[in-house]
A = this chain, B = another copy of it.
């Protein structure tokens, strides 16, 4: 069992709210905070406490977690005037589940470790369903000790946590994973769109893929969503676009050519331009379908 009982959670979007509930279900006493208060209110009804600011949140718990949309939001929550750093005290644990830049996660580690707080970078994959069921996959970047301390939290929200290396490594691996998801989905959709336009049932493409050595559980999930035009948001196009941008920023920094990731980002840009930014990534190829009056 954990050496801490009271856990704070800042950022109650699609992922965060579900992760907070998982922690609560596992017996942690959970305090929450969110920029727009209504989302915190909704969880208060389920027995969680609500903090007025991130600083108050940090001050009232043993360990605190964040899961926010982008680097700017995380900077504000952590380093803002009433940010977590203002309330933090030695001996605490800070686990960030967001996907941000390597640069920012390292900055967080430096700032909080100066305050005596252990920092663990822990981006997740598994989208809304995984968050709901507590079966997320966690890509951690941390010292081995901090990683061990975070295990009880990981067990509450996830199925598996893999230590990828020191802080920064988790983000790097997460970005690789999201880039891969984007090209897998787009590759499948391009093949299905072409098949359909050529008069072939696109479900045959999916059937063959799933009978092949390159099958993946992911294709069932997203392939069907695309064919059914079911774009309810599990992971939004805007968020994926942000992650592909972080991937390319890292590639630029390290001077690694990644032409396919650059190309798939433009597909997402097209989808955003056409107004699909808030929809699920299953809609990424929607403009290509619409333009070619397809499917």
Residues of A near any B CB (own CB < 8 A): 102, 125-127, 130, 137, 139, 160, 162, 164-165, 168-169, 172-173, 175-177, 179-184, 186-188, 190-195, 197-201, 204-205, 207-209, 211-218, 221, 241, 245, 247, 250-252, 254-267, 269-270, 272-274, 277, 287-288, 291-292, 294
Q: Contact between B263 and A177 (Cβ–Cβ < 8 Å)?
A: no
A165 to B202, CA, bound (A): 11
Q: Contact between A212 and B257 (Cβ–Cβ < 8 Å)?
A: no
Q: Chain B residues near A162: list those with CB within 8 A.
A: 204, 207-208, 211
A180 to B183, CA, bound (A): 9
Known: A180-B209, A269-B252, A292-B273. A204 touches B173 (CB 8 A): yes
A203 to B264, CA, bound (A): 24
Q: Contact between B214 and A183 (Cβ–Cβ < 8 Å)?
A: no
A200 to B201, CA, bound (A): 42
Q: Chain B residues near A288: list those with CB within 8 A.
A: 256-259, 270, 273
What are 26 contact pairs spanning A and B, CB under 8 A? A125-B208, A126-B212, A139-B208, A162-B211, A164-B200, A164-B201, A165-B201, A169-B200, A172-B195, A173-B205, A176-B205, A177-B208, A181-B214, A182-B187, A186-B260, A190-B259, A194-B247, A197-B254, A241-B252, A256-B269, A256-B288, A257-B292, A259-B288, A262-B262, A263-B263, A274-B291
